[in-house]
């Protein structure tokens, strides 16, 4: 249990003066990263030149799948770090430039959300032609340093600790992380062979978790259907 009251040296507050940043919990996390057994990099080195997508209000959306391209938004990144196309908005093809289109292997980070969910991250695998909103930051990993799914997992871990929410700027019930702050984020990065092992295990667990969720949802729907049938007095309901 960390104390509620703590102090920080004046010189430590020059870059950041918000109290949570200097709390023992997050100070210990930052020290742990810097003293890691692995090399530590700025995110801006691991994924140079990050950029965001573009805004698309209702007036520029398309409602015809033949004329539109999916516009990936925060809701398209699940809490499990996966991409979903359920409920995806479309924008007309003629409004999308070639460099607006997502590329396979890009890491997509939600830069604006609630404090809890800002920073949720996934990897775009080229499932279909897509672009993304300005609330998504596109990161292109340097593959000589870091694998896309490893980087995404690490960023999701940083989000789950509350660290990305801490780095965000809060405004009107939302939190946002700007590109400059992201680029300065320090991350411990093992060698590529170790990353591959970690990604393989994470993939196995993610697929198993997805299978269990789907089985649970199916079981729930079946149980609900049986209950409704019995409630309505349908014959043969068990």
Confidence of residue 229 (pLDDT cuts 50, 70, 90): confident
Mean pLDDT for the stretch of residues 199-224: 90
- Count CA atoms within 13 Å of residue 130 on its CB side: 27
pLDDT at position 1 over 80: no
Q: Give the pLDDT confidence score for residue 86 in this predicted structure.
A: 87
225 vs 8, more confident? 225
pLDDT at position 15 over 80: no
pLDDT at position 50 over 60: yes
pLDDT at position 209 over 90: no
Phi and psi (nearest 5°) for 234? Answer: -70, 140
b/e 33-60 (16+ beta carbons within 10 angstroms → b):
beeeeeeebebbebbeebebbbebeeee
Q: Give the pLDDT confidence score for residue 3 in this predicted structure.
A: 55
Structure tokens at 80: 């499990």
pLDDT, the chain, mean: 88
Mean pLDDT for the stretch of residues 4-27: 68
Confidence of residue 122 (pLDDT cuts 50, 70, 90): very high
Q: Give the pLDDT confidence score for residue 17 in this predicted structure.
A: 66
Q: Give the pLDDT confidence score for residue 116 in this predicted structure.
A: 93
The alpha carbon dihedral of 105, 111, 113, 119 has a sign of positive
Confidence of residue 148 (pLDDT cuts 50, 70, 90): very high
The alpha carbon dihedral of 197, 200, 204, 209 has a sign of positive
Q: Give the pLDDT confidence score for residue 28 in this predicted structure.
A: 83
Mean pLDDT for the stretch of residues 128-137: 95
Measured distance CA(229)–CA(219) in Å, rounded: 15
Question: How do residues 102-116 score in pLDDT, each as one tens digit?
Answer: 999 999 999 999 999
Strand order of the β-sheet with 121-123 is 51-52, 136-139, 107-110, 121-123
| Residue at token pair 């700027």 | 169
């Amino acid at each position: 249990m960390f104390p509620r009251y703590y102090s920080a040296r004046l010189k430590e507050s020059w870059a950041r003066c918000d109290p949570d940043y200097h709390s023992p919990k997050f100070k210990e996390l930052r020290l742990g990263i810097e003293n890691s057994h692995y090399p530590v990099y700025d995110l801006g080195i691991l994924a140079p030149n990050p950029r965001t997508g573009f805004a698309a209000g209702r007036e520029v959306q398309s409602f015809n799948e033949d004329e539109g391209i999916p516009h990936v938004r925060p809701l398209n990144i699940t809490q499990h770090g996966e991409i979903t196309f359920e409920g995806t908005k479309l924008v007309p093809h003629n409004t999308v430039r070639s460099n607006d289109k997502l590329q396979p292997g890009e890491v997509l980070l939600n830069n604006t959300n609630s404090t809890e969910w800002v920073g949720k991250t996934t990897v775009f695998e080229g499932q279909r032609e897509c672009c993304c909103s300005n609330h998504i930051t596109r990161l292109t990993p340097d593959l000589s340093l870091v694998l896309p799914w490893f980087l995404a997992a690490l960023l999701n871990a940083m989000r789950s600790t509350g660290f990305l929410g801490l780095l965000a700027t809060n405004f009107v019930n939302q939190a946002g992380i700007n590109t400059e702050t992201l680029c300065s984020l320090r991350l411990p990065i093992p060698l590529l062979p170790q990353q591959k092992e970690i990604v393989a295990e994470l993939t196995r667990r993610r697929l198993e978790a997805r299978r269990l969720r789907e089985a649970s949802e199916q079981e729930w729907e079946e149980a609900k259907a049986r209950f409704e049938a019995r409630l309505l007095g349908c014959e043969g309901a068990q």
